[in-house]
Structure 1
C-alpha cells in the first residue's frame, strides 16, 4: 500500500525530530522516562493529558492569520498523537478562544488561562498590540506562550515568551536585494503606521536596507488602519513614476491600494509582505498581477517536508495551507520537541525544553529554523502573484 501524505510527513518529521533531539540531548528517550535520561531537573514527567490553550483572532480584519495558525496546530497535534511522539496514549487537548481583535478580550482570556493550573502552555495571539499587552502577564505567571505573527517589539521579553514567526523585518532584506539586482533603485514606500510591524519596517528597517543596497526612498506615505481610500497616494506615485513601490498594508487595504495604483496608471514593480500571500490579494484581480512579496513559507516550496505538509494539510482540510498554517504547525512541533527534550510537560519543563531545542534549531516546514534566544528565524523566499497563483521568484 502506498504511504499517504500524512504518513510520509509523520515519517519525515519523526526522523528529523530524532536527529534534532539526539543532538540536543545526547541520547534518546520518550514518555515519562525522558526527563531522567536527559537530566531534566523538572522531575514532573510527561502527563498522559497535556492541556493547551489558544487565543487567536478568528474573526475581524486579521482573522486569516489566526484561522491558519489554528489549522496548522491542530494538524500537528493529530500527527504527534498518531506517532506517539510523546509516548503512547499521551493526548494533547487544545482549547481555543477568539480574541476578535480586542486587547481587552485577549487580556481577559489570558488571565483565565494563567489561573487554570491545568493549562501548560498558550498559543497566540497574532496581533502585535495584543501580544505585547499579554506578554508581561504570561512571563510573570511562568506560562510558556508561543506567539505566531505578533512581530512587534515587547513580545519576546523573557524565558517564558517564544515566537514561532520570524519578525517580518528579519527576512525583508531579500526585498531590498531583489530591487537592487533588478536595477529598481528609486522606491516609494506606503505603510500602515498604526500596525506596529509595518511601522517598524516602513520607518526604520527598510530605510536601513535601502541605504545598504543603494536604493533611494523617493517618498514615504504613512496611513492608518482605518484608511480605505488610497487615491491621493496612488495618483502622486503614478505622477512621480518611481521604479518600485514597497507596500506595507494589511490584506484588505492592499486590495484597494493595488487597484487604485493600477487605475492611476502606475505600472512599476510593487513589493509587499507575507500578509498578501496565499491569495489574500486575489480580490484585486489583474490589478495584483506581478506583485512580489517575501514569505517564510509558500505552498510552492519544493523541499520534502514542505511538500509532504502541503499534501497532508490538503488531505485534512481540502484546501492549500498558507504561511500562517505552516507557522502554527512548526510552533506545535517546537513545543512537542521541547516536552520530549526535557521529559517534563509541566510549565517549567516546557520552558526548559523549548529553550533547549531553540539553542540547537531544527528543520521544519518553513525550512532550517534557527533562533535568536526564543525568537525564530527563517531563510525566507520571494514569491510572485500572477493574478491567480504564486510562483517562486528565481
Structure 2
C-alpha cells in the first residue's frame, strides 16, 4: 500500500545503491538513445504478487497487461512494434524488492519498470533507479522518498492529495465531530491521520475529537472500538490496511456504534466486503471506481471486465494508466531507449492526458487526480454527492 520508509528501508537503500552500481549488464538488447522505436519493448513489473498487499501488485499488473494488449492491437507505437510484460514477485519484502529490482535494472533487455507498490520497497530502490537511469513508474507507494530523481515516476496520486474530499463530505453532511483511528506504522496513514486530515477537517468545519494510533501488528481493536463507541461521535475516520479495517469495523459495530464510518481507498476494490454488514454504508474517497461514469473510465471498466470476468479495482486502473503513460511517452519522444522513455514520460506529464482515472495532471513526475467519494452498500460501490 501507500506506505513509507522505515529503518529497514533506509538500510535497504544503502544496499541497493551498492548492488546497483556493481551489477553487471544482463541481456544485450538495450537500445541506445536516438535509435527510434524498437520492434519489441520489454516492460518489467516488479511488485507484490503474494503477501499481505498482493492485491495492489496483482491489480496493477492486470491493468498493465490490458493496456499492453490494447497498445499492441492498435499498433499504437507503429506497425510491428509490441510491448511485452515480464513479471517478478517482491512478496511484500523490502530486501527481496531490492534484490529483484537490482537484477531487473541490470537486465539490458528491460527498457522500463513498473515498480513496487509498497512505499517502503519503492523508497528503498528509488535512489538506485536514478543511478542506473532506468525509468520506473510506481503505483501506490504514496509516501515521500519515492519520486526523488529524474527516472522515478508515480502513476498513483498520493492519498493526501485528494483525501480532502472526505473532509468536505463530512462537513457538507453535518457530521461535525469525528474520531480518527490510524495505522502509525505506515507513514502515509500516519501523515494522513496526524497532520493532513485534521487540517482538512478544520477547513470544512469538522472537529477531530479522539485520535487513536495503532500499529501494523494490531489485530484486536476491542479496546479502541469500545473507547470510540462510548464517545459516540457522529462519524469515525479509519486509516487502516485492508485486513485491520475489516476487524475494526466488525468490533466497532459489536461495541454498539451506529454512526458513519469513513475509510480510505484501501477499502475500495471490494476489500470492505469481508466485513459483511458492518461495512454497509461505509464511505471513502478513491482515485478510481468502476462506478465512475466518465467515458474513459467506463471504457476501461468494460474492457477489463471482458478480459478478466470481473470489474476492475483502483490498482488495475493505476497499472493501466501507468502503461498508457509509458506508451504515450515512447510515442512522444519516438525513442524506446531508457533515456528516450524517461524524456517521453516527462513530456507527457507536462500536458497530462485522460485515462481510466479520468483527467490526469502531474506535479512534476507525480500524478494527480480529482478523486471521487463512493459508498459501499454491501455488494458494490456507488458514487455519492
TM-score, normalised by the number of residues in structure 2: 0.91
| Alignment correspondent of 1:292 | 283
SS of 2:310's partner is coil
Query: Of residues 302, 324, 331 in structure 1, which corresponds to 2:322?
Result: 331
| Alignment correspondent of 2:245 | 254
Query: Of residues 357, 364, 367 in structure 1, which corresponds to 2:358?
Result: 367
| Alignment correspondent of 1:93 | 84
> For 1:315-354, what aligned pairs fall within 5 Å after superposition?
315-354=306-345
Query: Of residues 134, 139, 159 in structure 2, which corresponds to 1:143?
Result: 134
Calculate the aligned-residue CA RMSD, in Å. Answer: 1.0
| 2:78 is the alignment partner of 1:114 | no
| Alignment correspondent of 2:222 | 231
| Structure 1 runs (4+) greater than 6 angstroms displaced | none
| Partners of 1:129 and 1:196 within 8 A in 2 | no
Query: Of residues 104, 118, 121 in structure 2, which corresponds to 1:127?
Result: 118
CA deviation profile, 1:338-389 (whole Å, cap 9, x unmatched): 0000000001000000000000000111010000000000000000001111
* C-alpha distance in 1 between matches for 2:48 and 2:175: 37
| Alignment correspondent of 2:93 | 102
Q: Which runs of 5+ in 2 are unaligned?
A: 1-31
| 2:305 is the alignment partner of 1:314 | yes
CA deviation profile, 1:274-304 (whole Å, cap 9, x unmatched): 1101210111111100000000111011111
- Aligned residue pairs, count: 354
> For 1:197-212, what aligned pairs fall within 5 Å after superposition?
197-212=188-203
| Alignment correspondent of 2:22 | none
Residue 44 of structure 1 deviates from its aligned partner by 2.0
| Partners of 1:84 and 1:90 within 8 A in 2 | yes
SS of 1:177's partner is helix
* C-alpha distance in 2 between matches for 1:203 and 1:132: 21
Residue 42 of structure 1 deviates from its aligned partner by 4.1
| Partners of 2:33 and 2:338 within 8 A in 1 | no
| Partners of 2:90 and 2:116 within 8 A in 1 | yes
Q: Which runs of 5+ in 1 are unaligned?
A: 1-40
SS of 1:281's partner is helix
SS of 2:153's partner is strand
Query: Of residues 262, 268, 283 in structure 2, which corresponds to 1:277?
Result: 268
| Alignment correspondent of 2:172 | 181
| Partners of 2:46 and 2:116 within 8 A in 1 | yes
